[in-house]
Amino acid sequence: MTVDPTTTYPKPPFDKQTQPFPGLAGQMHPKPDHGETSYVGSGRLTGRKALITGGDSGMGRAAAIAFAREGADVAINYLPDEEADAREVIALIEKEGRKGVALPGDLRDETFCETLIEDTVAALGGIDTLVNNAGRQQQAQSITDISSEDFDATMKTNIYAMFWLTKAALKHMKPGSVIIQTTSEQAYDPSANLVDYAITKAAGMNFTKSMAKQLGPKGIRVNGVAPGPIWTPLQVSGGATMEKLQGFGGDTPMGRPGQPAELASIYVQLADPKASYANGQVYGAAGGGGQP
């Protein structure tokens, strides 16, 4: 059966809406599709043990649902304010007969990041898949509007945490393990009002490629996913202007934003042991735009 991708999901204009950061998917309208009812697994990740940061919503949630339906046990990290979304994800994981572990906390703290890995290992019996997905995005029309505190929060959430978690996870990872970064089209085509966010996404892409070279000889693959405009709580909780939000994704060749569910299979592909020669790659999903 063929499906027209231009009409599969909602198109702009979208209703005006705003939420305090970090936002909840359950309060967005329309609600994002994370594959809750559509993703069908086939055992591609049977026996894998994964930690996904930002697993309560967006691409992290889509990956968590898909991983569980492919046979993996999954731990998710999220901020305490996102508990409502996280509980839905854990329920979906457990519905598949897999182990779902909720590990809330702030990734801006190095000690917490180290504890997060240890708690994942204790709960799942190990870790062989790390998805560094959690992100902070707050738009600012001018660099003068970005305080040092804001800049620091973005750097620590998007870069420091990726660095800390990877270091801690490598103590437990064996050959065959995988690390996946969520980067962004902002890494190579940055928006004027997302200066600090775009910096971190470029860093994440670079980290992916350098770590792939460092860890490839050890049998650990490192890859990235670079989404374009995707309908997630980042957009309604300060990540976009109201004007941008109402027309979100309308300037892509498909005329709409992507949904997290449309990226789930990419995360599965990169985690699948059969994709054993994919290393240092960044897979784009931008509806016809983008470069990687």
CA neighbours closer than 13 Å in the CB half-sphere of residue 98: 29
Q: Is 277 a catalytic site residue?
A: no
Site of tokens 């809406």: 17
Which has the closest alpha carbon to 231: 217, 244, 214, 213? 244
Using DSSP's 3-state secondary structure scheme, residue 10 falls into coil
The DSSP annotation for 87-107 comes to: HHHHHHHHHTT--EEEEE--T
Alpha-carbon span 236 to 23, nearest angstrom: 7
Which has the closest alpha carbon to 209: 194, 190, 187, 228? 187
Q: Which of 9, 197, 267, 283 is catalytic?
A: 197
The H-assigned helical ranges of 125-194 are 148-155, 161-170
Which positions are annotated as active-site residues? 197
